[in-house]
Structure 1
Amino acid sequence: MSPTVAIVISSVIVLGIGVLISFLVGRRQKGIENWNVGGRSLPVYVVAGTQFATGMGGGVLVAHVGIGYSAGWSAITYNLLYSVGIILLVMLAGWLKKQNFSTLPDIFKRLYGDHKIMMSAVTVLAIVVPFGWLCTQLVAFGNLFAEITGISFTLLVIIFAAISLLFVLPGGLASVAWTDFVFGCFILVLSIVSGIYMLDMAGGWSNIVSNVPENFVALPEGMGAIGMATVVLWIFAIFPGALTNQMSYQRIYAAKDAKTAKQGFIIAAIAGLISGIWASFMGISILSQNPGLENSELAAGWFLTQIPTWFLAIYSAFIIATIMSTVSSAVQSVVVNITNDIYKSYINPDVTDRDLVRTSRGLTVIIVILAIVLSLYYPRALGWLQATYAYSAAGLLIPIFLGIALRHRKVLSAKGAMGGIFFGVIGAAVAQIIDTSIPYAVYGVVSSLVGFILISMLFRYESNTEKKVSGL
């Protein structure tokens, strides 16, 4: 059996199982609450599974394995920062569940009032990260499978994006979360299997160590082998980005209660850290066997060209499950922002739930098409991750967490929040344009803090916001 045929068969099996689950869940759980937040009834194992599977994604398969290839154990640092970020969200789970939110902008509406300009800006920034993740997954899939099948990158991206619609359209987050859970279990099993296979393929750990730079495999030095400048970028982009990622907030909203959300997120954080260890190990092992790759993001693709057909079929199924979990979650998250925070809030407030579900499905198709176009225009997985995290964190981190901290004091205003948002985004953009030595995300977060404080002082507590905040 040829490798291409084996991959097609395994892909059809895995995707078929996922699509079946998606349609079954979609038939049982209908309505806009199920589409937006999974009916607010997900059990702990589904919360943990969907959070882990969404975070794993093609970024880990391609970009993070690439980090391991070029900088040893540094992928652990990347995932550690993300895991710490989602653990911190556990502290907010009780308050978030109590408010009955559906999206990230709902937090701003509760804290600062329903200011159209502010809400529009927040909605755009809330969309940035999941849309960036969506493009990342499409790029990752195209890079990996173009290497082993000979099919063009463009065609692969289009096909995979089209199939992702079958995971989202039936039931929104309800169908996405349950397919994520099943795929998440599969991902954990295949991570262990592939790690054992790689260890044998590379000739054992002692042989791997002898063929790579010492600082790559030493601990804790290897966790910083990527360089201090990049670690600082991650600290000010990935960690805050995890705190402002709407996909994580949605899974808190979707849990059946606060305790379920907390337990699910702790499990997902541990699993996420383990995935960082796996990615680093895979990258280091590939480096020990082939140190001559020009682009580190090709490391995972090279591995696929070295394994026998039977294992290639299994590993391809692993890739499919991993990437699809994040693609479907990202698409759904972007759509719920547009329908809930723009269409229903300002364009058609009287829309029925049935029509809103129909509109959500139509927008899902449009978002997928746009993601295909942009992924083909800029096919760099790690670049998408870093840029989207940086700008989202720059605009949202300070207004969210200072707003929550100060919610009982009469100091909050929509103008203050907008000051934090716009100063943050502009600060990050200027720093990126002039190519500062300090990562531009740092300038964005600091500028956001300055803007939030400055504008809040100029425009003291407003009466229309007081009514919103006094009930917190």
Structure 2
Amino acid sequence: MHPFDLLGLVTYFIILVLVGYRSAKRVSGSADFAVAGNRIIWPVLFATLAASFLGGGASMGQAGKAFSEGYAFMFAASAFPIATMISGIWIAPRLKRYANAHTVGDIMAHHFGPTARLATGVFSVVFCIGILGAQALAVGTVFHAIVGIDTATGIIIGMGVVLLYSTIGGMWAVIQTDVIQFLMLAVFLPLTMMIGVHQVGGAEALVAALPETHFSIMGNYSVSAFASIFLAFLLGETLVPPYTQRALSAPDARHARIGYTVAGGFGLVFYFISATIGLVAVLQYPGIVPDFAVPTLIRDALPVGLTGLVLASLLAVVMSTADSYLNSAAVSFVSDIYKPFINPNVSDRRKLWIERVVNLLIGIGAVIFALYATSIVDALLLSYTLWAPTILVPFVLAVMLDLRCSRSAVAAMLAGAVVTGIWEWGPFALQDMTGVSGLVAGVLANIGVFVAVYCLCRRVSGNSANTQA
């Protein structure tokens, strides 16, 4: 790597640490650490939300899948930005009705009680660690492909910087660095795509050189395989803790709605850019590991000076997602587990200190997870099975329909978790036998149990009222 490019990368890391240091001065309490004082207007919300969900999976993962399978995976995965726009129109504005809420658990407790809060906190923390591990693996992949150091060392260096600024600066640091990182990815990754397309002879030459299946909607996927991926991305990361925190950070419903909706639209464009880079890499570097498509193109196709900036933007994509999940995991643990069930009388100052310590410990756990993960997208899909089949359905029903039944929510979460676990890790290959993924089976079980228990509770409640009358 040329010294000029290395200088640009080091400068980027220094800026992130300085932002974290300056943000620490603005963090006077837990609300600042968790939701930045509820003062994030929609342009900033759009930038930080887009930077958060366009991480290693949306960049290197998308490009790697396009390298192997063409645009088909992009079309299936586009369910997530579509879900983000839907959430922005109908759900995110409603979240501002919950005064002083910092987490998904706060809202679940409002509707379903303390047991639902505890279950939500546990699932939220584990889910965030899984996603964070995928981003840590992506950081290591970038360092290995471009700088030449081994993946494990790259994970430790990149995540060390994320841990430093997010631990001392909380949500203020996360949001400010996200805006910087968003501006970098919005400029430099499209530029990388255009340079790559130009080097292979233009868009027409790219289309002519690759099989038609690389440009079809379903590619070589069966209907059931395509549907499984579509549903995994539609449900697996929708309204997860860091994205819900973004809506809660907005000053009002209008800012939450616009920020979410615009971020979803930008996500569709970004998915196309990442996938196209993957197709360019098929022609330029046909023998590489698919997940290395983006960093390899950056290393070999870009001129000296620009390589360092684009590398920094690629790391920005990944690190912006990592810092968001890191902050959310720490806030969820303290707000949904520690304070309600371990030390209800904890002071705000001590709560802030604990959030910082937990932030650090969770980051270390995610690094360990990343050292054993094999694929960025596989790590993401595995983590998705911890969210949609457990928390998503009761959460959405609570926000949209104002439902209140603790038994139905807790039973649905447990049923979704058990069914998904049996489907994914049980003794029988149920996905192969049925064509239904574990995530979909878990969501269906969650919905069925929630509706059944809710209706039963209402019937029992109605009978009790009649008996008393």
TM-score (norm 1): 0.90
Residue identity opposite 1:141 in structure 2: V
Verify the 8 A CA contact 1:81 1:235 in the aligned structure 2.
yes
> Structure 2 unaligned runs (5+)?
462-469
Verify the 8 A CA contact 1:416 1:455 in the aligned structure 2.
yes
Q: CA deviation at 1:252?
A: 0.4
> Structure 1 unaligned runs (5+)?
464-472
Alignment of 1:168-247 (within 5 A): 168-217=166-215, 221-222=216-217, 224-247=219-242
Distance between the aligned counterparts of 1:154 and 1:287, measured in 2?
26
Q: Secondary structure at the match of 2:31?
A: helix
Equivalent of residue 410 in structure 2, options 412, 418, 421: 418
Distance between the aligned counterparts of 1:268 and 1:418, measured in 2?
32
Q: Secondary structure at the match of 2:345?
A: coil
CA offsets, 1:193-226, max 9 Å, x none? 1111111222211221122111212xxx235555
Equivalent of residue 158 in structure 1, options 156, 159, 162: 156
Distance between the aligned counterparts of 2:31 and 2:174, measured in 1?
14
CA offsets, 1:103-148, max 9 Å, x none? 0111211111223xx3222112222433222111111111122122
Verify the 8 A CA contact 1:85 1:242 in the aligned structure 2.
no
Residue identity opposite 1:108 in structure 2: M
* Worse-matched range after superposition: 15-24 or 444-453: 15-24
Aligned to 2:316: 321
Equivalent of residue 291 in structure 2, options 291, 297, 304: 297
Q: Secondary structure at the match of 2:28?
A: coil
Distance between the aligned counterparts of 2:399 and 2:41, measured in 1?
27
CA offsets, 1:81-118, max 9 Å, x none? 11121122221233211212210111211111223xx3
Going from structure 1 to structure 2, the CA distance change for 1:20 and 1:75 (only over 3 Å counts) comes to farther
Distance between the aligned counterparts of 2:376 and 2:263, measured in 1?
23
Verify the 8 A CA contact 2:102 2:248 in the aligned structure 1.
yes
Distance between the aligned counterparts of 1:204 and 1:69, measured in 2?
17
Q: CA deviation at 1:318?
A: 1.1
CA offsets, 1:399-451, max 9 Å, x none? 1223334426xxx4211111111111111121123331321111111111122
Aligned to 2:94: 95
Distance between the aligned counterparts of 2:220 and 2:51, measured in 1?
27
Distance between the aligned counterparts of 1:85 and 1:30, measured in 2?
35
Q: CA deviation at 1:192?
A: 2.2
Equivalent of residue 368 in structure 1, options 358, 363, 373: 363
Aligned to 1:105: 105
Distance between the aligned counterparts of 2:271 and 2:401, measured in 1?
35
Q: CA deviation at 1:29?
A: 4.0
Aligned to 2:465: none
Aligned to 1:306: 300
Distance between the aligned counterparts of 1:339 and 1:7, measured in 2?
40
Distance between the aligned counterparts of 1:24 and 1:207, measured in 2?
49
Going from structure 1 to structure 2, the CA distance change for 1:227 and 1:67 (only over 3 Å counts) comes to farther
Aligned to 1:273: 268
Q: CA deviation at 1:455?
A: 2.8
Aligned to 1:26: 24
Residue identity opposite 1:152 in structure 2: D
Aligned to 2:464: none
Distance between the aligned counterparts of 2:179 and 2:127, measured in 1?
21
Alignment of 1:250-289 (within 5 A): 250-289=245-284
Residue identity opposite 2:107 in structure 1: I
Verify the 8 A CA contact 1:67 1:75 in the aligned structure 2.
yes
Verify the 8 A CA contact 1:27 1:170 in the aligned structure 2.
no
Aligned to 2:339: 344
* Worse-matched range after superposition: 84-93 or 252-261: 84-93
RMSD: 2.0
Distance between the aligned counterparts of 1:228 and 1:39, measured in 2?
46
Q: CA deviation at 1:78?
A: 4.4
Verify the 8 A CA contact 1:45 1:181 in the aligned structure 2.
no
